[in-house]
Structure 1
Amino acid sequence: MRARVGDVLRFAGRRVGMAEHRAEVLDVLGTDEQPPYRVRYEDGRETEIFLGPGCTVESGEPSLTSPHVD
């Protein structure tokens, strides 16, 4: 799975009733759009990650930290 800066990663809950969470890709640290990625979660935490099962990549999503415009 590949991701680019600005893509949103969606992580499925690992248990029944566990909420999905999302993170925005801030930097691609691997080569050819491969992991690891530096990401920012919705709560503002930043970390480096490798993608695992239950993760999907959405391209073209607006920034998680940008204001919502109707």
Structure 2
Amino acid sequence: MTATGERQGQEKPRVGLWARVGDRLIVAGATVGDEGRDGEIVGVHHPDGTPPFDVRWSDTGRVTLVFPGPDARVHHFPPHGTTAAGPVKAATRS
């Protein structure tokens, strides 16, 4: 029997830090008053989405190879062509 989420085209939950291209990496500041950094993940090096990631930082626009530490988290977005409710269906004319 398949889980409800799988029937609706949703991914299984994953344990640990992982990402897809298009997700956002958020790194907390190291000291009080340091806002931290965030950037778009533009490349992953492993098929399962585990680090390292290529990140385009929002403050500089530079792309760097990042091995995230314990102060980092990933904001996941739905895969391209889907929404939180499931796959996007193409509009058709009647």
> For residues 11-58 of structure 1, what are the alpha-carbon distances to aligned partners after superposition, in whole Å with 9 as ceiling and x for unaligned?
110001111210110010123111111110012011111111111100
Runs of at least 5 residues in structure 1 that lack an aligned partner in the other structure:
62-70
Question: 2:73 maps to which residue?
Answer: 56
* Aligned counterpart for 1:24 among listed residues 25, 40, 56: 40
Q: CA RMSD in A?
A: 1.4
What is the number of residues matched between the two proteins? 61
Question: Structure 1: which 4+ aligned runs deviate by more than 2 Å?
Answer: none
Question: 1:37 maps to which residue?
Answer: 53
Structure with the bigger percentage of helix: 2
Matched-pair identity in %: 39
TM-score (norm 2): 0.60
In our comparison, the structure showing a higher alpha carbon Rg is 2
TM-score (norm 1): 0.79
Runs of at least 5 residues in structure 2 that lack an aligned partner in the other structure:
1-16, 79-94
